[in-house]
Protein backbone atom coordinates (compact mmCIF):
# COMPACT_ATOMS: atom_id res chain seq x y z
CA UNK A 1 0.00 0.00 0.00
CA UNK A 2 2.74 2.45 0.99
CA UNK A 3 4.63 3.48 4.11
CA UNK A 4 4.48 5.76 7.14
CA UNK A 5 7.37 6.47 9.46
CA UNK A 6 8.32 8.88 12.21
CA UNK A 7 11.67 9.87 13.70
CA UNK A 8 13.31 12.26 16.15
CA UNK A 9 14.20 15.35 14.15
CA UNK A 10 17.21 16.08 16.40
CA UNK A 11 18.70 12.68 15.43
CA UNK A 12 18.00 12.96 11.70
CA UNK A 13 20.50 14.16 9.09
CA UNK A 14 20.64 17.92 8.44
CA UNK A 15 17.59 19.35 6.77
CA UNK A 16 14.75 21.85 7.03
CA UNK A 17 13.80 20.24 10.36
CA UNK A 18 17.22 20.70 12.01
CA UNK A 19 16.16 23.88 13.86
CA UNK A 20 13.06 22.27 15.38
CA UNK A 21 13.12 21.87 19.18
CA UNK A 22 14.00 18.60 20.87
CA UNK A 23 10.76 16.69 21.30
CA UNK A 24 9.75 17.07 17.67
CA UNK A 25 8.84 14.03 15.58
CA UNK A 26 9.21 14.19 11.84
CA UNK A 27 6.91 12.07 9.68
CA UNK A 28 7.11 10.73 6.16
CA UNK A 29 4.32 8.95 4.34
CA UNK A 30 3.37 7.69 0.92
CA UNK A 31 0.50 5.74 -0.52
CA UNK A 32 1.98 4.08 -3.57
CA UNK A 33 -0.76 1.74 -4.73
CA UNK A 34 -3.17 3.60 -6.98
CA UNK A 35 -6.13 1.52 -5.84
CA UNK A 36 -5.75 3.05 -2.34
CA UNK A 37 -5.59 6.69 -3.48
CA UNK A 38 -8.42 9.18 -2.86
CA UNK A 39 -10.29 6.87 -0.47
CA UNK A 40 -9.42 8.49 2.87
CA UNK A 41 -6.78 5.95 3.91
CA UNK A 42 -4.07 8.60 4.26
CA UNK A 43 -6.07 10.59 6.82
CA UNK A 44 -7.10 7.45 8.74
CA UNK A 45 -3.56 6.11 8.93
CA UNK A 46 -2.04 9.50 9.78
CA UNK A 47 -4.50 9.91 12.66
CA UNK A 48 -3.38 6.54 14.03
CA UNK A 49 0.29 7.56 13.73
CA UNK A 50 -0.46 10.87 15.52
CA UNK A 51 -2.05 8.98 18.43
CA UNK A 52 0.93 6.60 18.58
CA UNK A 53 3.36 9.52 18.68
CA UNK A 54 1.30 11.29 21.36
CA UNK A 55 1.18 8.14 23.50
CA UNK A 56 4.99 8.08 23.62
CA UNK A 57 4.66 11.07 25.96
CA UNK A 58 7.90 12.62 24.76
CA UNK A 59 6.98 14.60 21.69
CA UNK A 60 5.58 18.12 21.71
CA UNK A 61 5.35 18.66 17.96
CA UNK A 62 5.02 16.66 14.76
CA UNK A 63 6.32 18.06 11.49
CA UNK A 64 6.14 17.06 7.85
CA UNK A 65 7.90 18.38 4.77
CA UNK A 66 5.72 17.42 1.80
CA UNK A 67 6.52 18.34 -1.74
CA UNK A 68 4.28 21.39 -2.25
CA UNK A 69 3.30 20.06 -5.67
CA UNK A 70 1.77 17.02 -3.97
CA UNK A 71 -1.64 18.51 -3.22
CA UNK A 72 -2.98 15.20 -1.89
CA UNK A 73 -0.28 14.97 0.82
CA UNK A 74 -0.80 18.58 1.82
CA UNK A 75 -4.55 18.00 2.05
CA UNK A 76 -4.03 14.92 4.28
CA UNK A 77 -1.86 16.98 6.64
CA UNK A 78 -4.35 19.83 6.76
CA UNK A 79 -7.25 17.46 7.46
CA UNK A 80 -5.26 16.12 10.43
CA UNK A 81 -4.69 19.61 11.87
CA UNK A 82 -1.22 20.46 10.55
CA UNK A 83 -0.55 24.12 9.79
CA UNK A 84 2.02 25.57 7.41
CA UNK A 85 4.86 27.19 9.38
CA UNK A 86 7.01 30.14 8.35
CA UNK A 87 9.88 27.74 7.54
CA UNK A 88 7.75 25.81 5.03
CA UNK A 89 7.17 22.77 7.23
CA UNK A 90 3.72 21.59 8.24
CA UNK A 91 3.50 21.44 12.04
CA UNK A 92 1.11 20.01 14.59
CA UNK A 93 1.33 20.89 18.28
CA UNK A 94 0.51 17.77 20.26
CA UNK A 95 -0.94 19.75 23.18
CA UNK A 96 -3.61 21.02 20.78
CA UNK A 97 -4.97 17.50 20.26
What's the DSSP call for residue 81? Answer: T
- How many domains are contained in the chain? 1
Range of the domain at 84: 2-96
pLDDT of 96 strictly over 80: no
Q: Which CATH number goes with the domain that contains 18?
A: 3.40.630.30
Residues with Cβ within 8 Å of 80's Cβ and at least 6 positions away in sequence, in order, are 43, 46, 47, 50, 92
Kindly report the number of other CB atoms within 10 A of residue 2's CB atom: 13
Mean pLDDT (whole number) for 35-52: 90
CA distance 10 to 14: 9
Mean pLDDT (whole number) for 90-97: 88
- 55-88 pLDDT tens trace: 999 999 999 999 889 899 999 999 999 999 998 8
Amino acid sequence: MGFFQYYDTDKAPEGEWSNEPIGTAGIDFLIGEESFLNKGYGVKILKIIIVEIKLKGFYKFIIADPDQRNAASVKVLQKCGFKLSMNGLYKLKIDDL
